[in-house]
Chain A
Amino acid sequence: MLKKKVLTSLAIAAAAGLLMSGCANQGSTGTSTSASKIDIPAITTIQTPANAVLPAGDGKAKCAAGLTLGYIGAETGANAQLGINIYDGVQLALDQHNKANPGCQVGFKKFDTEGDPTKATGPVTQAVNEADIVGVVGLPFSGESKATGNILEQKGLVHITPSATNPGLTTNGWTTFFRGLGNDAVQGPAAAKFVTGKLQAKKVYLVQDDSDYGIGLAATTSKALGSALIGTDKVTTGQKDFSAVISKIINAKPDAVYYSGYYAEGAPFDQQLVTKGYTGTFVAPDGVKDDQFIKLAGNASANAYFTCPCIPGELIPTFESAYKTAFNLEPGTYSIEGYDAATILLSGIDAGKTTRADLLAWVKSYDKDGLSKHYKWDSTGELQAPTVYGYKVENGKIVPIGTIG
């Protein structure tokens, strides 16, 4: 028995040796796409609004003691890092505010949802019942936001989400929900423009997964791609073998593949594309923009670009250095969105809006620059001029390449 297995191993080794050596010098005759590599340089600075409202304000704010801001969202759970990025941003804004304004000390309370829609109701109910909380940053994810928006609405508690992008969230008639970034109805067209414009792709192949996020984003993206879209395919969550999809893509010879989904499938997909000789670019949205993508796709990730309605906070020097000093970390995805959202609420408190109703009205009529962008909402709670950024993979890191829409 054992002998047989040893023989087997040897046979495999021999076969492998023959195959790998026999063809090592054949080069890559398997390449079948001919996109010329477009290089968009990484940006190292971004334009920061000159008159951005900062948490410190004028330092003369006076307010009653006991006012509190809340963060409701993931502190633990599988996607905790996103939540941590956000509440660290909020914490930084609060620290700067309280340090500069001895006459107005605002407290901070965190409520953990684990990012899970089924667990979010409890912490949200707890938060709305604490009378000292006048404004909330959160909830970070679309699913939990959808599940709890009504509770916050009933108690008239204003909340600004720094990261939930599902377009449907603003169609519920909620008056207390505000989105601090562009939604996927903005990201899709921006992505299409980026792929056919800056990346100069004439032919784009779009692959979507089976999540609400992936389907919604694919719909807006493919509509905007128009005639550049030469083919589509659909994959499932948890799929690992993409060979048939890839064979269709290789035959269609696209210049770019847009993957609308999350990194768990996007990474093996990109890796298998490259293994099969695909030489075009791979473009994916914020659901794939994560260091995990690089870990999972390996070298193949070098062909990847990302679109994201998030602003690269690491390129805002004052923010970056303050964040690093406070937490000994670089700002993460959505840290700056959390910081700006907290700043808007704090500036309201400084202006004397210290009840839930007053603060809600303050956010509703807000029309000023934040560090990351201009904040002014329409009646549904969508930003009026959201920005979408492009990112790319360079030397195993995700770096911003500027605005794309």
Chain B
Amino acid sequence: MLDLLLVHPVSANDWISFDIPSLIQNFWSATFDGLTFGAIYGLIAVGYTLVYGVLNLINFAHSEVFIVGAYAVVLVLSALGFGPSVPNLPLSSIILDLVLALILAMLASAATAFVLERVAYRPLRKRNAPRLVFLITAIGASFAIQYTIFLVRGANAEPAVTMFQAQPVFDVFGTIINSQQIIIVIAAVILMILTDQFIRRTRAGRGIRAVAQDPDTATLMGVNKERIIIITFVVGGILAGAAALFYVMLVPSGVQYNGGFVLGVKAFAAAVLGGIGNVRGALLGGLLLGIIGNYGQILLGDSQWTDVVAFVILVLVLLVKPTGILGTSLGRSRA
């Protein structure tokens, strides 16, 4: 056992080695960086989790709902004069511009999710198509949106838009935390609390829970199922739009026609890890996935391990608890 813990800082010969000093040295930065990206996974994961909770459908095209929002952020900010350089604008106008970009990104993503539901899923539902057909349609819709963007915007990533200079804010155990990280994590948590409250307290939220629990009975009780489904897609879209703004804040040049795919897979995994159908689980799953991936890659020595570690942990968790960490479906979530 002790042999396993032997330290190989940089080893070219061993297939696998554990670099524990490096993990200790980078522990806090790995944690905070993981939380930051994890918050973005979590926001996207809500879209998967809500739709799954209500329709038992894995909406594979949700990654494209996200990337449309990211394009909206880039296009709006470039139109407002943002570019690769740090903008030379007063703080108040930067904030105004970012809020405008946020709202437009939310609108763009929500609209995409709405159209997707209307065009790709609703006609199938009317015809009582089998579950598999929905899944295939979702994959098809994902490709259709991706390559439409490819045809319009081309293969290259969009030029960078830098929103503001990340400033160091405070120092935790020798690790600098910057303003970007704080903004992203706090905003994501606020958005998640609002979403959770929306589902728990509002009339529409009650409808979502009712349809998730038993669509037929909900309809009998006077819930407009079609309306609830639309609301579900739109809420997922709005959060994806918010995630898009934070993503561009972290990765100013990350907007590319196929750029949503990997994030989408990670976010879906986050939803499953936290317990699919569970909004709180989505955030928890996202944060955990972000942190675990970071610890794993530092422990194992290179970044190519990130996904291996993240997905092995996912499988292990599901083996122990098949419903995910927080379990429970949307219908039975604490009302």
User: Which A residues are within 8 Å of any B CB, using their own CB?
Assistant: 1, 4-5, 7-13, 15-17, 19-24, 26, 28-30, 78, 210, 231-236, 238-245, 247-248, 250-251, 264, 267-268, 271-272, 275-277, 292, 294-299, 301
Contact = CB atoms under 8 A, between A and B. Distances in A.
B156 A8 contact: no
Interface string B253-284: 11000110011000000000000000000000
Interface in B7-66: 10, 22, 25-26, 29-30, 33-34, 36-37
A5 B239 CA distance: 10
Interface in B45-98: 83-86, 91-92, 94-96, 98
Given A296-B157, A296-B159, A12 B10 contact: no
B37 A243 contact: yes
B219 interface: no
A120 B297 CA distance: 38
A30 B30 contact: no
A275 B262 CA distance: 23
Nearest to B84: A298
Contacts of B167: 19-20, 23-24, 26
Contact of B26 (A248, A276, A295): A248
Contact of B162 (A4, A78, A264, A298): A298
B298 A19 contact: no
10 contacts: A10-B99, A12-B187, A15-B190, A17-B95, A78-B155, A240-B262, A241-B33, A243-B34, A243-B36, A271-B252
B169 A233 contact: no
Given A29-B176, A232-B10, A298-B252, A271 B160 contact: yes
Contacts of B316: none
Interface in B165-190: 166-169, 171, 176, 178-180, 182-183, 186-187, 190
A291 to B, nearest CB: 10
A384 B10 CA distance: 35
A106 B58 CA distance: 61
Nearest to A233: B302
Given A244-B26, A244-B297, A301-B84, 7 more contacts: A9-B99, A10-B99, A236-B307, A248-B22, A268-B254, A296-B84, A297-B253
Contact of B190 (A12, A19, A210, A233): A12
B191 interface: yes
A24 to B, nearest CB: 6
B95 A235 contact: no
A241 B250 contact: yes
A235 B303 contact: yes
A238 B155 CA distance: 13
Nearest to B29: A247
Contacts of B190: 8, 11-12, 15
Contacts of B155: 78
A251 B254 contact: no
A271 B180 CA distance: 14
Contacts of B166: 275
A398 B249 CA distance: 26
A240 B290 CA distance: 13
Interface string B295-308: 00110011110110
Nearest to B155: A78
Given A236-B303, A244-B306, A268-B254, A19 B83 contact: no
Contact of A15 (B162, B187, B238, B250): B187
A8 B194 contact: yes
A13 B304 CA distance: 36
B102 interface: yes
B128 interface: no
B112 interface: no
B304 A30 contact: no
B241 to A, nearest CB: 10
Top 9 nearest A-B pairs (CB, nearest first) are A298-B84, A243-B33, A296-B253, A247-B29, A234-B302, A30-B168, A298-B160, A295-B159, A23-B167
B164 interface: yes
A29 B204 CA distance: 48
Contacts of B99: 9-10, 12-13
Contacts of B231: 1
Contacts of A231: 10
A5 B84 contact: no
A235 B293 CA distance: 13
Given A1-B202, A9-B103, A234-B302, A19 B182 contact: yes
Given A12-B183, A12-B190, A30 B176 contact: yes
B106 interface: yes
Contacts of A15: 183, 186-187, 190
Given A16-B183, A19-B179, A30-B176, A1 B204 contact: yes
B302 A232 contact: yes
